[in-house]
């Protein structure tokens, strides 16, 4: 019986270490079991709060809009997959779609840098080519009432 109790205590100590619980070397089995249960309850509460937070974000205000690609009608891709903050959606270009406000703001921020050269004189008056860049938005979003 002492061997079984010792083995159970060793297993509890391993589980406690996995959960990040600190304890003294001479801790009793009942005390350690109680700390493990408290830690598991704490973790479950955090996970539940996290799920509820994500659900609240997803259930935010929805907006009807049309997403167009800036490349115009010659662009070969007809749809695009977007993902942001755990929300994912497949959007067909130039079709009406319902997006959360967060997703809409995310799509508005997507873009690329266009690089170009300008010729400017340096301090000695000698013309120099300088590489510059400007941000271009990739998608247009029109709200539909």
- Quick check: 116 pLDDT over 90? yes
7 vs 51, residue with greater confidence: 7
Whether 24 shows a pLDDT value over 70: the answer reads yes
Give CA separation, 140 vs 26, 81, 103, 109, 144, in Å: 66, 15, 13, 10, 13
pLDDT in tens, 65-78: 989 888 756 667 78
Residues 85-111 have a mean pLDDT of 89
At 133, the pLDDT band (50, 70, 90 cuts) reads very high
Are the C-beta atoms of 59 and 25 separated by less than 8 Å? no
Average pLDDT over residues 16-40: 88
Q: What is the pTM of this model?
A: 0.52
For the chain, what is the mean pLDDT? 85
For 74-84, what is the mean pLDDT? Answer: 81
Pairwise pLDDT comparison (121 vs 72), residue with the higher score: 121
């Amino acid at each position: 019986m002492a061997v079984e109790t010792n083995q159970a205590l060793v297993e509890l100590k391993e589980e406690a270490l996995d959960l990040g619980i600190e304890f003294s070397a001479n801790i009793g089995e009942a005390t350690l079991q109680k700390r493990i249960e408290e830690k598991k309850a704490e973790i479950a509460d955090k996970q539940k709060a996290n799920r509820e937070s994500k659900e609240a974000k997803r259930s935010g205000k929805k907006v009807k809009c049309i997403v167009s690609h800036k490349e115009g009608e010659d662009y070969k891709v007809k749809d695009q997959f977007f993902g942001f903050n755990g929300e994912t959606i497949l959007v067909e270009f130039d079709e009406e779609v319902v997006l959360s406000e967060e997703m809409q703001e995310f799509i508005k921020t997507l873009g690329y840098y266009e690089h170009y050269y300008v010729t400017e004189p340096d301090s000695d008056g000698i013309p120099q080519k300088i590489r510059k860049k400007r941000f271009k938005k990739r998608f247009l979003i029109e709200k539909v009432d």
